[in-house]
Amino acid sequence: MADLLRHRGPALVLTGAGMSTESGIPDYRGPDGSRRVTPMSHQEFTASGDNRQRYWARSFIGWQRFTAAEPNVGHRAVTALQRAGAFGHVITQNVDGLHQRAGTGDVTELHGSLEEVVCLTCGERADRDLVQAFMADANPGFATAVLGHVPDGSQVSSQIRPDGDIVLPDEAVRAFTAPRCLVCRADTLKPDVVFFGGSVPKERVDLCFALTDAAPILVVLGSSLKVMSGYRFVRRAAAHGIPIVVITKGPTRGDAETTHRIDAPLGVTLSALAADFSHAQTA
Ligand SMILES: [Zn+2]
């Protein structure tokens, strides 16, 4: 892979949830590709105020843990490889902002970012931190009351999901005051991310297709490619005869299109690759 990057780089990079598991944010899927938990879908979120109340109650608790997550060695290696010229633009399916916090530039967040909230009624935008502060004011004692009350008896912090969601009992959810839009007062605030069943904005898809068309190599990190929103770029690259390198644990939907495949943990693998490049540069 180092040889390929040296001769053909900088590669376009596509990253998935596996990139952040070493930061303590678990994947929705296990290494066998099966779904471990079902996230709230776009259709559920938009269908009812009760569902949005459930989402925000869980997300209010999950946010603290989510924002405490730090970039891992894999994220830092991506930054090093980008600075060494091996990696170019990074398209991520993650909404955790950890690539940027690790210093990686040219990041496109395919599924948006949890840092921003948008009103589905009037389009007003707000920082998530502001919405979090509103929820804290409107729900004094909520976090303390629900801690230790998750269904399996474990700490809430162990229940965090990739989108910042957590598991909460129904009675706790019903007591929660969900946030409202500061402009139109509707209860239709939504994190500005693409939920399962939602669609990526067309201009963002077009940008990523253009990046794929121009890429000398596509490197996929930590994704089983089960979701079409990422897999379509692999298919596009394959159609153009662009070499595709995949580093992830377990099988992927793109195995047939993949040129080189490394079934290994990302942190140690990317660190070794970054070390190889730093040696080459100083040699
Ligand atoms: Zn509004």
pLDDT tens readout for residues 155-196:
444 455 655 566 677 788 889 999 999 999 999 999 999 988
| CA geometry: angle 114, 271, 105, nearest 5 deg | 40
Q: What is the pLDDT of residue 182?
A: 92
What CATH number does residue 87 fall under? 3.40.50.1220
Report which residue type is found at 83. Answer: R
Q: What is the pLDDT of residue 158?
A: 47
Question: Does some domain include residue 134?
Answer: yes
Q: What is the pLDDT of residue 155?
A: 47
Q: What is the pLDDT of residue 183?
A: 96
Report which residue type is found at 180. Answer: R
- In terms of C-beta density within 10 A (0-12 exposed, 13-18 middle, 19 or more buried), how is residue 152 classed? exposed
Q: Does the pLDDT value for residue 227 go beyond 90?
A: no
Q: Does the pLDDT value for residue 152 go beyond 60?
A: no
Where among 193, 225, 251 does a domain terminate? 193
Question: Does some domain include residue 30?
Answer: no
Whole-angstrom CA distances from 125 to 23, 53, 109 are 28, 19, 17
Q: Are residues 82 and 141 in the same domain?
A: no
Is residue 208 a known part of a binding site?
no
Mean pLDDT of 204-216: 97
Distance CA(40)–CA(214), nearest Å, equals: 35
Our count of domains for the chain comes to 2
Q: Are residues 64 and 76 in the same domain?
A: no
Distance from Cα 46 to the centre of ligand 1, integer Å: 14
Q: Which helix (H) or strand (E) holds 51?
A: helix 49-68
pTM, 2 dp: 0.87
Distance from Cα 181 to the centre of ligand 1, integer Å: 5
What CATH number does residue 50 fall under? 3.30.1600.10
Q: Where in the sequence is the domain holding 243, given as residue range(s)?
A: 1-25+71-111+199-283
Q: Does the pLDDT value for residue 150 go beyond 60?
A: no
Active-site residue set: 111
Distance CA(162)–CA(21), nearest Å, equals: 9
Q: Does the pLDDT value for residue 137 go beyond 60?
A: yes
Q: Does the pLDDT value for residue 76 go beyond 70?
A: yes
Q: Are residues 263 and 208 in the same domain?
A: yes
* Phi, psi of 91, rounded to the nearest 5 degrees: -100, 125
Q: How far apart are the first and last CA of the chain?
A: 19
Distance from Cα 189 to the centre of ligand 1, integer Å: 7
Distance from Cα 43 to the centre of ligand 1, integer Å: 19
Q: What is the pLDDT of residue 128?
A: 95
Location of structure tokens 């990422």: 230
pLDDT digits (tens, 9 = 90+) for 15-40: 999 999 999 887 665 544 455 566 78
Q: Percent of the chain having pLDDT more than 70?
A: 87
Mean pLDDT taken over the chain: 88
Where among 193, 226, 256 does a domain terminate? 193
Question: Coil, strand or helix: which one is 217?
Answer: coil
Please, are residues 193 and 163 in contact by the beta-carbon 8 Å criterion? yes
Lowest mean pLDDT among 12-16, 39-43, 62-66, 262-266: 62-66
| Helices 266-282 and 73-83: angle between axes, nearest 10 degrees | 30
Q: Are residues 101 and 219 in the same domain?
A: yes
Tokens of 71: 């970039």
Which one of 30-44, 52-66, 124-138 scores highest in mean pLDDT? 124-138
Distance CA(43)–CA(32), nearest Å, equals: 27
Question: Does some domain include residue 248?
Answer: yes
Please, are residues 88 and 12 in contact by the beta-carbon 8 Å criterion? yes
Q: How confident is the model at residue 256 (pLDDT cuts 50, 70, 90)?
A: confident
Distance CA(222)–CA(123), nearest Å, equals: 33
- Sign, CA torsion 1/27/97/148: negative
Question: Coil, strand or helix: which one is 155?
Answer: coil
Tokens of 213: 């068309």
